[in-house]
């Protein structure tokens, strides 16, 4: 302190009033914190936080012909069932597609009870789900967040995510609900999707993010879906 006082010119010599020099710094710090809190309260939601009013469920090509050839097919069926049922509870529309159903069969029977008859599966030959018919549906949804699952990770799921992101959608890919015939293709697809801006998530992560709180009106119904027994063995981790 003695050195500091010896080197600091007097306020009188500088022509400054004492009160400016002696004003407590903590007052400025408190003011800054108050401003930060006010800005935080007014800030928009962080990217990645899901809102049921903004979210749509996309189920890509969970068809009978793939049952015996897709690695972890049962996981894709189970997660799709979870998300379709939770989507109904939370008021989220669903888009379901079928790749060349004349050759590859219809959507598996396990999902049939959860399909909306007002929005039946869309047949396609494009790899992406975003066909002209689906694009028209999306235009009337007023949604911009997609929860995406299905087959195959490196072809139809990948191209769907890229097309949605090109349209300004925020895409959440469920790693426990997408797969391919070969695990290597699945792994490469997930890396490429994340690098391209898609958000990798899981069904449980997404559902609890949609709920936000254990006090949510639909917490019990949705958490019961989350607690259901999963197929074994699990899909490979990232």
State the catalytic residue, choosing from 76, 124, 163, 176.
Answer: 124
Give pLDDT tens digits along the chain (238 positions): 444 444 444 444 445 445 444 454 444 444 444 444 444 445 567 789 999 999 999 999 999 999 999 999 999 999 999 999 999 999 999 999 999 999 999 999 999 999 999 999 999 999 999 999 999 999 999 999 999 999 999 999 999 999 999 999 999 999 999 999 999 999 999 999 999 999 999 999 999 999 999 999 999 999 999 999 999 988 888 7
Q: Which conformational region is residue 168 in: left (phi greater than 0), alpha (psi within -120 to 50 degrees), or beta?
A: left
pLDDT 10s digits, 80-138: 999 999 999 999 999 999 999 999 999 999 999 999 999 999 999 999 999 999 999 99
Report the pLDDT value the prediction gives residue 237, as an integer from 0 to 100: 82
Burial 60-82 (b: 16+ CB within 10 A, else e): bbbbebbeeebbbbebbbbbbbb
CA 110, CA 67: separation in Å to the nearest integer? 12
Catalytic residue list contains 74: no
State the catalytic residue, choosing from 61, 76, 163, 176.
Answer: 61
pTM over 0.85: no
State the catalytic residue, choosing from 51, 60, 76, 156.
Answer: 156
Catalytic residue list contains 42: no
What mean pLDDT value characterizes the chain? 87
Report the pLDDT value the prediction gives residue 202, as an integer from 0 to 100: 97
- Sequence-ordered list of residues with C-beta below 8 angstroms from that of 238, at least 6 positions apart, any chain: 175, 187, 190, 200
What are the CA-CA distances from residue 108 to residues 159, 169, 195, 215, 220 (Å)? Answer: 22, 27, 31, 35, 27
Catalytic residue list contains 220: no
First to last CA, the chain: 57
């Amino acid at each position: 302190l003695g050195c500091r006082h010896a080197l600091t010119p007097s306020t009188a010599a500088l022509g400054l009033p004492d009160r400016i020099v002696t004003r407590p710094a903590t007052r400025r710090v408190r003011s800054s914190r108050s401003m930060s809190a006010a800005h935080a309260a007014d800030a928009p939601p962080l990217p990645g936080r899901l809102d049921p009013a903004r979210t749509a469920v996309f189920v890509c090509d969970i068809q009978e012909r793939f049952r015996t050839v897709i690695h972890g097919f049962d996981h894709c069926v189970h997660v799709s069932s979870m998300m379709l049922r939770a989507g109904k509870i939370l008021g989220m529309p669903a888009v379901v597609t079928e790749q060349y159903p004349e050759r590859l069969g219809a959507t598996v029977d396990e999902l049939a009870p959860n399909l909306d008859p007002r929005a039946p599966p869309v047949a396609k030959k494009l790899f992406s789900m975003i066909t002209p018919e689906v694009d028209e549906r999306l235009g009337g949804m007023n949604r911009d967040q997609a929860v995406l699952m299905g087959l195959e990770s490196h072809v139809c799921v990948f191209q769907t995510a890229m097309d949605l992101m090109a349209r300004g959608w925020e895409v959440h890919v469920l790693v426990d609900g997408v797969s391919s015939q070969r695990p290597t293709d699945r792994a490469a697809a997930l890396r490429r999707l994340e690098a391209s801006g898609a958000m990798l998530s899981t069904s449980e992560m997404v559902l609890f993010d949609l709920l936000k709180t254990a006090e949510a009106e639909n917490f019990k119904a949705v958490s019961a879906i989350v607690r259901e027994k999963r197929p074994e063995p699990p899909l490979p981790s990232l």
